[in-house]
Amino acid sequence: MKMILMVALGGAIGSSFRYLVGVTATRLFGMGFPWGTLIVNIVGSFLMGALIVLLALRFSVSNEIRAFLAIGVLGGFTTFSSFALDIVSLYEKKQYLASMGYMSVSVICSILGMFLGMAVVRSFLG
Q: Which domain holds residue 96?
A: 2-125
Q: Considering its fold, how many domains does the chain have in total?
A: 1
Work out the number of other CB atoms within 10 angstroms of the CB of residue 54. 18
What pLDDT score does 25 carry? 98
The pLDDT assigned to 108 comes to 97
The predicted structure's pLDDT at residue 21: 98
Average pLDDT of adjacent 10-residue blocks, the chain of 126 residues:
96 98 98 95 94 92 95 92 90 97 97 97 92
What is the chain's alpha carbon radius of gyration, rounded to the nearest angstrom?
16
Taken as a whole, the chain contains a residue count of: 126
Predicted local distance difference test score (pLDDT) of residue 82 = 83
HSE-up of residue 8 (Cα within 13 Å, Cβ side):
5
